[in-house]
Amino acid sequence: MSDSCIILAGGKGTRLSNLLGELPKCLAPVGNSTFLELQMRQLSLSGISSFILSLGYQAEKIIEHIKTLNAEYDVTYVVEGEPLNTGGAIKHVFESLCLKESLVVNGDTIVSGDLSPMMMPVKKNVNCSIGLCNVSNRARFGGVQINQDSYVVSFDEKTNHTAGLINAGFYRLNIEALQFNERKNFSFEIDLLPLLVQQKSVTGKVLEGKFIDIGVPEDYELFCNNQEDYVK
């Protein structure tokens, strides 16, 4: 099943600055590759061949890097003129390309397993589906609670060290979801998702496989040393 995917790759990677210097986070070196290359490779295993890169910080450097790759991907670039945060960046892409629905993934996240649950269009009366992963310690990410019908009912604070489901940074959403926030610059996770949950319009899709988010030095180094566990 072929599909397209928006990758949110506009961040600076402030918490990795001691390791990356001025490099944008998505171009973090991993062996002879970059994180963005490996992320696109892993996504392609689930049938994604068309990518939309939402760019901001050092967009030109990222575009030039992608042009050097031999991978047979169809890549579209949408560059924000000013920082828009995650929600604003998603909305900017949807409006720029007149999208009605799309898969969206954070630019620092990989899930090693099958993403087919995220390929299906959101069902009627649902504006967003979130990809969820089971981890042994939810403290860094916060937990996600779903009911027996797979609707998301709440998000836990980032103080819970127990095992459970977390938001894996994968979303399937439609344009209607973005109409609930009229601001230009806003956080998708903080400003919009809780509102959508209150509207009972968010479902959770549990994804199998290992999850990694390279946003902090420890997990970036873990990925560099064990990339074969996450990218096939």
CATH number at residue 40: 3.90.550.10
Q: How confident is the model at residue 108 (pLDDT cuts 50, 70, 90)?
A: very high
pLDDT of residue 1: 38
Average the pLDDT over 182-206 and give the result.
94
pLDDT of residue 49: 86
Average the pLDDT over 131-152 and give the result.
94
Q: Name the residue range of residue 45's domain.
A: 3-229
- Sign of torsion, CA 126 180 143 119? positive
Bigger pLDDT: 72 vs 79: 79
- Predicted confidence (pLDDT) per residue in 22-64, tens digit: 899 999 999 999 999 999 999 998 889 899 999 999 999 999 9
Average the pLDDT over 105-114 and give the result.
94
Q: Whole-structure pTM over 0.75, yes or no? A: yes
Q: Are strands 128-135 and 29-30 parallel, antiparallel or unpaired?
A: unpaired
For the chain, what is the domain count? 1
Percent of the chain with pLDDT over 70: 99
pLDDT at residue 92 greater than cutoff 70: yes
Average pLDDT, the chain: 92
Bigger pLDDT: 82 vs 3: 82
pLDDT of residue 2: 47
CA–CA dist 201, 53 (Å, integer) = 26
> Which residues, in sequence order, are CB contacts of 79 under 8 Å at separation 6+?
55, 56, 59
Q: Where are the alpha helices (DSSP H) in the chain?
A: 17-20, 35-44, 59-67, 85-97, 175-178, 193-198, 217-225
Average the pLDDT over 58-86 and give the result.
92
